[in-house]
Amino acid sequence: MNKDLFKPVITLTCIAVIMAFILGFVHRLTAEPIALAKNQQELDAIKLVTGEFDNDPFAEKMTITTPNKKQKFIMYPARVNGKLSAVAVKSYTNTGFGGRIDVMTGFNVDGSINIFKIISSNETPGLGSKTDEHRFKKQLKDFHPAKQILKVKQDGGDVDAVTAATISSRAVLRAIERAYSALQNFNTRDSNE
């Protein structure tokens, strides 16, 4: 009976080892193109939310934190002729209807919002995904979170939620608010040093 089990076990082990080798090879082969595509997606988002720049935002990126030090985000400075023209902050929230939403927000030098871009989300197509459309975004053009309330009107804020996607609207605004909070914390820390 041991001989009857030995052959299938060896065969299955060989198949598993060969498949593991193939998967490892494919992973190694595709890891760099996937990373390059992700970097290009982020660079495109940075260009969209900050406008034109002539520096390398990836080379100058910094980690910034919210005042409570619980969330860390990436800030990409955009410069024209060496002068800071805007910054992009990549933030996230886990409070979307479909879970996590990653947002790239562009902030003007005065702290107002230029525009934002949703980098990834699992929101419902046709509903929650509408938070990345012009109709919702235009409300935040030149919106200054220090002077206006960055919440949906149902929560006492100044922003109209996307119809039938209030949870997604709240989540996107939360990600932007967290990015602004971290940016303000960075600016305050930087000026105090």
Q: Which residues pair with 101 in a beta bridge?
A: 93, 121
Residue 191 pLDDT: 44
Instruction: Specify the number of domains making up the chain.
Output: 1
Q: Is 142 left (phi over 0), alpha (psi -120 to 50) or beta?
A: left
Is residue 193 pLDDT above 60, yes or no?
no
Confidence of residue 162 (pLDDT cuts 50, 70, 90): confident
Q: Which tens digit of pLDDT belongs to each residue from 106-161?
A: 999 999 999 999 998 877 776 667 888 888 889 889 999 988 888 888 998 888 88
Give the Cα separation of 104 and 179 in Å (integer).
Answer: 9
Q: pTM for the full model?
A: 0.77
Residue 124 identity = T
Q: Is the pLDDT of residue 163 over 70?
A: yes
- Domain holding 81, by residue range, is 49-192
Alpha-carbon span 64 to 72, nearest angstrom: 6
Q: Give the model's pLDDT for residue 127.
A: 66
* Encoded tokens for 41: 């997606």
Yes or no: say if 132 and 120 are a contact pair by the CB < 8 Å rule.
no
Report yes or no on 89 lying in a domain: yes
Within a domain: residue 24? Answer: no
In a domain, 184, yes or no: yes
By the 10 Å C-beta count (0-12 exposed, 13-18 middle, 19+ buried), 179 is classed as buried
Inside any domain, residue 64: yes
- Classify residue 39: in a domain, yes or no: no
Q: What is the pLDDT of residue 134?
A: 84
Mean pLDDT over residues 73-83, rounded?
93
Structure tokens at 36: 């390059």
Around 116, how many Cα atoms within 13 Å sit in the side-chain half-sphere?
Answer: 34
Q: What is the DSSP letter of 84?
A: E
